[in-house]
Amino acid sequence: MHLIGLDVGTTGCKAVVFDETGEIKGNGFAEYDVICEKPGYAEQDPEKVWCLTKHVIRQAVAESGVKDIKALSLSVQGDAVIPVDKSIMPLHNTLLGMDYRSVPQMEYCISLLGGRKLFDLTGMRPHPMNSLTKILWFRDNLPGVYDRVYKFMTYADFILAKLGSEPVIDYTMASRTMAFDLLRKDWSDEILGAVGVDRNLLSRPVPSGETVGKISPSVAEELGLNDRVLLISGGHDQTCAALGAGVVEENIAVDSHGTAEVVSTAFYKPMLNDKMYSSFYPCYCHAKRDMYFTFSLNHIGGILFKWYRDNLGFEEVQEAKGLGISAYQLMESRAPKGPSSVLILPHFNGSGTPWCDFESKGAILGLTMSTTRHDIVKGILDSLTYELKINLEEMTKAGIGIKELRAVGGAARSPFWMQIKADITGRSVSTLKVREAACLGAAMLAGTATGIYSSLEDAASATVRIKDTYHPDEKVSRLYEDKFNVYKDIYNALKDINRRL
């Protein structure tokens, strides 16, 4: 029996056919564009995303050569909004989560209900990324579109509806909109009433891992599938990646390190305390029923390493080409061991949690005439990990314990960086055999809904495999601790200077 895990991200989509043990039988991948016509704007052509989604499913199915696909579920990017008509045709481009044009609508929501009350009701601190603010932007700025809307959808309900289901949105995505009552698990009549949005403009909320229909015969034929494939509600990409990393219990976190770095974890009681609010940590539904979810965010993760490569690493780029290896590999091999003499504040695009200071800027400290570019490389790796440790400490203060990190994304390919993470955080860090964690998490939901697995714990036991584990070296950890105590003071020391800049 086989399952399809689909991941519809911000810049690309992928589909993977898995067997019951989590082994990959076929996959497909395609990229698409983000349209940025003005500062703060970020749109996408949803029909193009749908066409490429079909393309990658066809690719994965054809490569797998299997005919017995039981079910499909999906992982999707968060907070995007698509206005559609009754035939599920878009009436406008998608407004992506990173589209911040709806600041006035965010401020309007705060004026009506208060920022803390919105957080207490929904687990989402007011922010222009939140879907509700984007819906209000359509009403305020494009009333001709708003008046024709059948549903405002995220990619979760949009793709499922295109595949053949009724308009349904899973709890993980609904609870990220700032319009969903986190404890009641339904749209908040108080919030929707206050802002004047009809709940009929939103899809019906359902738990992740619920059977919501069968694939339509015409789409099945187009994708090379039979029309008995079941459609299963999926989840936000962070929650699905957490499932695919085995985060089905407390005290485990997945460190997803790509362009940005996101550390996410799950817990059984909703966390809506002062520390969660002040640190900008959301609290929303996990894809595992009856668990809640949060994450820290560093906007600058792997992209800082790329910035160094493109601006300062020309020599390594040229040499790496001749050696047939990546420039990153060569840069790491020449980085000094132990804590770098250089500290870097990686706020090259503002800070993420726990400060979320858009005006913060990057800095390189500790430069001397003896500093080499290799020290800067090591400073990048160290400082990004110090930023991670700050968030782990803040989460602990909020009542969320994390004992183990499971790494996915580009950094997970680097044993050197994984050991740095273990030494600085003082926690074991593991990598996974299946790197497509979000697709695997979606497949786990599909398999559990259809009885292939008795529970998500059973699904994780059957499919999630640890590849390597890195343990902290206590002697090295003590050296890093001294540097970390300096690093913690950098943001506040430079805060006023960055504002003046």
- Strands of the sheet containing 292-298, edge to edge, are 284-285, 292-298, 261-267, 251-257, 402-409, 428-432, 466-470
Give the count of alpha carbons within 13 A of 374, CB side only.
Answer: 12
Domain assignment present for 268: no
Spatial distance between the Cα atoms of 308 and 201, rounded to a whole number of angstroms: 46
Q: Say which residue the tokens 């008509």 belong to.
A: 85
Virtual CA dihedral for 130, 154, 398, 412, nearest 10 degrees? -120
What CA–CA distances, in Å, run from 359 to 97, 295, 493, 500? 20, 22, 14, 10
Domain assignment present for 216: yes
Domain count, the chain: 1
Taking the CB of residue 454, how many other CB atoms lie within 10 A of it? 10
- Per-residue tens of pLDDT for the chain, all 501 residues: 899 999 999 889 999 999 999 999 999 999 999 999 988 899 999 999 999 999 999 999 999 999 889 999 999 999 999 999 999 999 999 999 989 999 999 999 999 999 999 999 999 999 999 999 999 999 999 999 999 999 999 999 999 999 999 999 999 999 999 999 999 999 999 999 999 999 999 999 999 999 999 999 999 999 999 999 999 999 999 999 999 999 999 999 999 987 789 999 999 999 999 999 999 999 999 999 999 999 999 988 888 988 999 999 999 999 999 999 999 999 999 999 999 999 999 999 889 999 999 889 999 999 999 999 999 999 999 999 999 999 999 999 999 999 999 999 888 999 999 999 999 999 999 999 998 999 999 999 999 999 999 999 999 999 999 999 999 999 999 999 999 999 999 999 999 999 998
Is this structure's pTM higher than 0.85? yes
Task: Give the pLDDT score at 6.
Answer: 98
Domain assignment present for 259: no
Domain assignment present for 416: no
Domain with residue 231: its CATH number is: 3.30.420.40
Spatial distance between the Cα atoms of 236 and 284, rounded to a whole number of angstroms: 10
Task: Give the pLDDT score at 276.
Answer: 98
Domain assignment present for 130: yes
Domain assignment present for 208: yes
Domain assignment present for 55: yes
Structure token pair of residue 9? 């991200």
State which residues form the domain around 107.
Answer: 2-239
Domain assignment present for 98: yes
Taking the CB of residue 274, how many other CB atoms lie within 10 A of it? 10
Nearest 5°: CA angle at 176, between 464 and 433?
15
